Each structure stands twice: as structure tokens, then as C-alpha cells.
Structure 1
Amino acid sequence: TAVLSITKNLYKKVKSSDGDKLLELNKEIVKPGDLITIRLILKTENDLEFVHLKDLRASSFEPVDVISKYEWKDGLHFYRSTKDVATHFFFDTIKKGTYVLEYDVRINHSGSFIDGISTLQSMYAPEFSAHSISTKVKIE
């Protein structure tokens, strides 16, 4: 099995009386203006130091939160930086385990797009790396 893995899933965020619901993107019709949640699932079997995660976005996705900042989620401390093409996450340490990162984007125009891959790599030991698959996104 791989020491390091990353999975990327896309969900349509829908408001309901019960709060926000996440619906699988490939089963939903999406249109400009819809809110999409990008979920990144990181798994590591070793403790790692100085790790970079680059998450490429489809060209029709505009990030909702563009302010670069330090964040803390589920025991994972990181710096998140949003750029034109990708969102970057920088980790000083990642302890052995499974972690879920999410952020929202808004669809800004229609068409067929390929959502980019996510690449997770140790900066000290580049042989420890993983990437996700890309997803085709059809926006009506």
C-alpha cells in the first residue's frame, strides 16, 4: 500500500431547512452561481515534515475565501494560500492518520471543464508524493 495518498471529491452545496447539504457533483446538475465544496482526504502511514499540497481548480471555479492565512483543522496546522490556478496548503508536520480539508468555490460560467489534480509531496523527501485523479465537470 502507498505511504501517502490523496483523494479529491466535489460536492454541490445546497441550503436546506436542516442546514447545508453536500450532494455528489456527478449526480447533480450544476449551473453558474452554484457553490461547490472541494473535499481533500489525506492519508499517511508515516509522520511527515514540510509537506506541500497543491490543488488545481477548473477554470470555471472561483474560490470564495481568497485570504491567505494559517488554519487549524482536526489536529492539522497549515498555511493556506489561494492563487489564480490552485490553492496551496503548506504543512510543517503531518502525523500518521487521515485528514479531511474542505474549501468552497463558486461556479462563474458554463461549459465542460476538467478539474485539476491535487498533488501532495514531502519537500524534504520528494519520493513521498501522491496525486488525485481529475474529474470532468459539465456546467449547464
Structure 2
Amino acid sequence: DPTKIEGSQVEAGTGYFKTSWDKNEIKPEMGKVNLQKEDEGVAWGALYWQYFEDLDKITTHKTPLKLNKKLFLEQASASGPVIVPITKKTKLKLGDKVIVRIVLKVDRRMEYVHMKDMRASGFEPLNVFSKYRYQDGLGYYESTKDAATNFFMSVLPKGTYVFEYPLRVTHKGDFSNGITTIQCMYAPEFTSHSEGVRLKVK
């Protein structure tokens, strides 16, 4: 009963109310909610749980859309350029070339899908021009913005797809590289995101 919650104000007509708790007050059992209607007639409603978290602490969210994001450092070798996975022990420096690899798995055909890959502020993209691309039977529009790279797919067939693009390290510091999010624009319940990554440049 919202009227019994201290500080809550119930909106007349809709019954909408909003309440919040301090992080020390939140317990796992609060995720279980029971709804009971005591009068006659039709009723409708919704419940949402909103919270904040550091981007580099976000874990992977698996749905029919599955995302896996990895960063690689490109290095020169006798046989040509090679890429090695970036880990917590990797020492990045100014001028390094970083390859972003996003693996997308989808278990059904979808339409009008938007994927957004966030980027650390210490990196700059090498693909600065937005344009339409086609690879592995998938056509999409790649749009480069200040803080992220966007991928727009009008049709996304069932399958596994790999997206790659290069970055250049331009600043020293401790950066959050953010997450990759994906959502079906006309069926927003189909959404997912990758885990967050933390990077240090010395």
C-alpha cells in the first residue's frame, strides 16, 4: 500500500507513485513484489526498478541478443601486424592502435536494430566518416560520434556477426571504456549490453 510508505505521494486518477531507498537499505528480497487488487473492475500498471552503477562494473546481460566486446592491441611483428587481447596487465601508451571487436549473436530475425558502442575519452576513432557498410551478408550504417560509434541495421538475420573498427590512444589516464548496447527499436523488450571495461594509459 503506497499510502503506508513514508514520503510517497500518490497521483490522483492514475495511482502513480515513486519512492527511493538509500543503498544501505536495499535488500535482495525487495526484488520480489506481490500485487493484490481488492476492488472490482479492470486495472493496469507497471513496475520499474532503477539504479546507478559505474560503467566498468556492469556485467553482461544475455537475451536473444548476445554481445561480447573485446579490445585488442595491434603490434608489429616480422610477419606483419598482429593483435593481442588487452588485459589488466596490458600497458597502453600514447599512439597505440587499439582494435575494437564486437561479436553479436542473434537467435531470430529482427528489424530496425540499433547498436551503440561507447568509447573511452582517451581514444579517438580512425574511421571518422559515417557510411553504409556490407559484410557477411549484413548491411548496416556505421555512424561515428564524439563518445560512441553507432550501428543501424534495418534487417538483422539470425546468426553471428563480427564488427571491428580501430582506435588511436591519444591521452594518458584511467578511463572507463563504457559498454556496448543493442536494442530493437520497434520491440524495445529485445535489448542487451556487454560488460564494462576499464583501461589505463601511462
TM normalised by structure 1 equals: 0.96
Aligned-residue offset at 1:97: 0.8
| Structure with higher strand content | 1
- Aligned residue in 1 for 2:74: 13
5+ residue gaps, structure 2, are 1-61
Is residue 123 of structure 2 the alignment partner of residue 65 of structure 1? Answer: no
Partner of 1:91: 153
- The separation in 2 between residues aligned to 1:22 and 1:105, in whole angstroms, is 13
Does the CA-based 8 Å contact 2:63-2:191 persist in structure 1?
Answer: no
2:143–2:150 Cα contact (<8 Å) kept: yes
Which structure would you say has the larger RCO, counting Cα contacts within 8 Å and 6 or more residues apart?
A: 1
- Separation in structure 2 between the aligned mates of residue 72 and residue 20 of structure 1, nearest angstrom: 24
Q: Report the secondary structure of 1:133's partner residue.
A: coil
Q: Which one-letter code corresponds to 1:72 in the other structure?
A: Y
The correspondence for 2:113, drawn from 51, 58, 62, is 51
Amino acid at match of 2:97: L
1:3 aligns with 2:90: no
CA-to-aligned-CA distance 1:31-84 (integer Å, 9 cap, x gap): 010000000110100101000001010000100011000001111110000000
| Residue in 1 that maps onto 2:168 | 106
Aligned residues of 2:178 and 2:197 also touching (Cα < 8 A): yes
Amino acid paired to 1:37: I
Q: Which residue of the other structure, out of 91, 101, 109, is the alignment partner of 1:39?
A: 101
Percent identity over the alignment is 45
Give, in angstroms, the shift of residue 108 of structure 1: 0.3
In structure 1, the residue matched to 2:37 is none
Q: What amino acid sits opposite 1:21 in the alignment?
A: V
Greater share of helix: 2
3-state DSSP of counterpart to 1:19? coil
Larger deviation, residues 21-30 vs 123-132? 21-30
Q: CA deviation at 1:28?
A: 2.4
Q: Distance in 2 between matches of 1:48 and 1:20?
A: 36
Q: Unpaired segments of 5 or more residues in structure 1?
A: none
Runs (4+) of structure 1 moved beyond 2 Å? none
Q: Tell me the distance in 2 between the aligned counterparts of 1:38 and 1:13.
A: 10
2:86 aligned partner: 25
